[in-house]
Structure 1
Amino acid sequence: MTDKKQSTELVLVENEKEISEESKEYFFQVDFLKAAMIFLVIFDHMVAWGVKSEMGVTLWERISIPVFLVLMGFNMGKSFQKKGDVSLKQLYSWSYFKSKILRYIVPFLVLYGVSTFIGLFMYGFDISAMYNGQYYPQHGIIHLFIGFLPFWGPGNWFLPVIFQSILLMPLLYKAFTKKPVLSLIMCFVVEIAMQLIVFFFIGEITSYEEGHLVTLFMTSVLFYLSGIGLGMWFSFGHNLKSKRNIFMWILFPISLAFCIAYQFFAFRIRIDGVSLLRGDYHFLIFPYSAFLVLLALKFLPQKSEGRISRVISMIGKSTYHILLIQILGYGMITAVWGTHYAIDVGFGPDKILDMIFAWLLFIPFGVLWYKIDKKKNLLKRVLYSINLFIVFVSLLFLTFWGQVFWVPIPLLIILIYAIAALLTNFIIKKPLKTNSLSLWTGFLLMTFIMMVLQMSVLQPNEAWITLIPIGIVLTLAVVGTILDYMNSK
């Protein structure tokens, strides 16, 4: 009986693989949209509202999160369709949760550890100062249990939405396979119900605690269910001219009219001075962005093989890691300047350069992190991750400390190391072997620790002490690399 059961399970697994391979679809349009939207997210977190309000951002820049939500539903719908007609229990399989844990939870935990340490360092290892300076009163302790980082950065609110969607998606997909029209309607109903609960049971915010409670609702995936539901609906057919999508020709002009009124005429739905709809993303906003997604799916190529297209696709696939890396980066900026809005008055040449610098910093490092996470060798993933985060935060420290024309020697050593690593991996294209990589990562880590000690513990006249352990580990790394090279001959 056991052999028969195992044989049946093996056949099911093989069939699932065959179905996946035969029905596998690639949508360049999705990667293009995700890549474009992550540029807008970084823009949004850098440009203050006083500047953005004059730029009509509701119609072009604030579409980033709605588009991501629609694509979230679209991608999961397409992914589940590859499995064929399976039960809800099979959708909630261990392989499903394992893939999501590796894709989302593990990188989050890595960021949690790294950002907390960097935050403590920047606040003099005073956890109360970090909590009060970076996190409170906008956020409360309760938010730490749903995916907020102690060393907060903009965009953090979207992480709980992603995590909760992992639990919801199989159920939502199954509902759409059984009763698609009813399921889509219920997505709107549930979201509207969430808005009404906030309005009637909380109403006007009169305390930080009430604000924290509203944030709990606004970081719930149910608060944005209509956007995800539209994406799930499109996964079963995204032809803009098909009868099943004719309702979008009705919802789109309504949503567009609301967006225009919201942006240019300060239109808000209020009752007794209290907003009926909380936040910038809701069922009156989503159809506009959803329609743009349909246009992209129709008019952009489904496949594109050029070099630029491959770069776009890689950025699109790396958007989660880019989001995480910019949370850390903007968090560090907030710790230094008290705000992450580096552009708060106009768009002069210097501000444009700041914006370009942010894109050139966050996006490549996010892509590198994504590529590191795709490596099969666990040790190499760990070593490369240590390298990535040390170099990333060091570049930001350089921008902070360089403005006062002083940079600690360990930081300069890290930057020289980063240049050498860049040449080795991407110009010469001869990455170090694992043993040598371990030695040089140890050197980099020691140098970073010495920098932390110099900045937080040692007196200025004691800075020379840091060079002793750095020199020792450097010698070991050089000798070890030579021996490793000789042994390979």
Structure 2
Amino acid sequence: MVKRNDAIDTLKALAIISVIFVHGLSDVRLYKIFAPYYIWQAVPVFMVLMGYNAAQSFMRKNQTKLSRIFTPHYLMNKVRRIFLPFTCIWLLEVIIQYVHFENKDIKKLLTSYFEGGYGPGSYFIPIMIQATVIIPFLYIIMRKKPTRMMILLFFVSLFIDVMSYTLTIDGSLYRILIIRYLFALVLGIWYALKKSDIKVKGLIIPALVSFIYITAVYYYDWIGIVEKFWNSQHAPSYFYTLLIILVANNYLSIGRESPLEKLSLLIGRASFHIYLTQMFYFWCIHAYFSDLSGILYVFTFLTIPIVIGLLFYKLDIKWTKPNQTRKDKKSR
């Protein structure tokens, strides 16, 4: 069994907590606390880590061809880890839509599955699914000449983003397309392939350029040549994201002894389930606590999604692990 990277799990915990803050605090408040430099980096962090973790897995298994990656095991693993938890939340949302909100439009209810369901951040689900398909192709392309292909793919991803803006792709469609996060996946794969060669000092200049880009977009209303609704979440900003991950991976020392350390690791492992739970919470529960203020308000919108998300994760593990073990025994 592969040993988990505690620094990565802790970073994922911080990222999912940041996602909750994004949906719990107003934009005005987020700007005042300089959220673009850390809290609003949450989804880019997840995307870079998706590329990194997948590439690490391919390297460990010596998978050098698409036919060796796209196996039934790979596909079923993604179904178990992504589709099953999401489908549970989606079914609950559809029931509430139909019964409580009296939404009887069956076609729209079914279509919502492919749009990530309901609630803030629902776009992330279809983007994750696209990433699981695209990452193996990116890995094969980058495997032999990582840095050269990373540079080329930067311009390719930027070109695709610019073209989508020029062609005025509908915002509701662009929202669920991976276009703006494509280069984040590329950087994650590049980091995995060149991990021993990539140093913090080597990323300072590109990360500084990303920092300037983030600042210009958020605080000086710089529009540039790409879609503007998603602010700086485009290719030029992701070297800054990679620097955050590199620093955390190299210098974040995490133990497993204290309750806080154990909790942070658990939250990191359950980050996807917490993400799904916070979507549901902010969609139909949060309004009941909107009259709260101050610390109590923050405590409420943080605690409820995290606690329920952890329980959801534990139930999922309890239900799927025995089934997976039986399937593994049958395949031997």
State the TM bucket, normalised to the shorter chain: 0.7 to 0.9
CA distance in 2, matches of 1:173, 1:254: 26
In the TM superposition, residue 305 of structure 1 has moved relative to its aligned partner by 4.4
In the TM superposition, residue 277 of structure 1 has moved relative to its aligned partner by 4.9
Aligned to 2:8: 30
2:73 counterpart (95, 113, 126): 95
Q: Does 1:235 align with 2:192?
A: yes
CA distance in 2, matches of 1:163, 1:57: 27
Q: Which has the higher contact order (CA 8 A, sep 6+)?
A: 2
CA distance in 1, matches of 2:300, 2:227: 39
Aligned to 1:300: 252
TM-superposition CA deviations, 1:60-84 (whole Å, max 9, x none) = 2111111111111111111222212
- In structure 2, do the counterparts of structure 1 residues 143 and 227 end up closer, same or farther at CA, with 3 Å as the change threshold? farther
Aligned to 1:217: 174
2:240 is aligned with what amino acid?
Y
Aligned to 2:124: 158
Q: % of aligned pairs identical?
A: 23
TM-score by length of 1: 0.60
Structure 1 counterpart SS, 2:40:
coil
CA distance in 2, matches of 1:61, 1:142: 32
**Structure 2 portions without partners, runs of 5+:** 324-332
In the TM superposition, residue 356 of structure 1 has moved relative to its aligned partner by 0.8
In the TM superposition, residue 96 of structure 1 has moved relative to its aligned partner by 0.3
Aligned to 1:182: 148
In the TM superposition, residue 247 of structure 1 has moved relative to its aligned partner by 5.0
1:320 counterpart (272, 292, 296): 272
Aligned to 1:257: 212
- In structure 2, do the counterparts of structure 1 residues 117 and 59 end up closer, same or farther at CA, with 3 Å as the change threshold? same
Over aligned residue pairs, what C-alpha RMSD do you find?
Answer: 2.9
Aligned to 1:373: 316
Q: Does 1:46 align with 2:24?
A: yes
- In structure 2, do the counterparts of structure 1 residues 81 and 160 end up closer, same or farther at CA, with 3 Å as the change threshold? same
- In structure 2, do the counterparts of structure 1 residues 56 and 302 end up closer, same or farther at CA, with 3 Å as the change threshold? closer
Aligned to 2:224: 269
Aligned to 2:47: 69
In the TM superposition, residue 55 of structure 1 has moved relative to its aligned partner by 2.4
CA distance in 2, matches of 1:350, 1:145: 34
TM-score by length of 2: 0.86
CA distance in 2, matches of 1:226, 1:141: 32
CA distance in 2, matches of 1:233, 1:375: 35
Aligned to 1:111: 89
CA distance in 2, matches of 1:370, 1:243: 34
CA distance in 2, matches of 1:377, 1:77: 25
Deviating more after overlay: 161-170 vs 51-60:
51-60
CA distance in 1, matches of 2:238, 2:110: 28
1:201 counterpart (160, 167, 192): 167
In the TM superposition, residue 48 of structure 1 has moved relative to its aligned partner by 1.8
Aligned to 1:360: 303
CA distance in 1, matches of 2:299, 2:145: 46
- In structure 2, do the counterparts of structure 1 residues 97 and 36 end up closer, same or farther at CA, with 3 Å as the change threshold? same
**Structure 1 portions without partners, runs of 5+:** 1-20, 132-139, 203-209, 344-348, 381-489
In the TM superposition, residue 166 of structure 1 has moved relative to its aligned partner by 1.4
TM-superposition CA deviations, 1:257-303 (whole Å, max 9, x none) = 12223333333326xxxx65552311122111111111111111266
Structure 1 counterpart SS, 2:32:
coil
Answer whether contact 2:116 2:126 (CA < 8 A) is retained: yes
Q: How many residues align?
A: 322
- The structure having more radius of gyration, on CA atoms, is 1
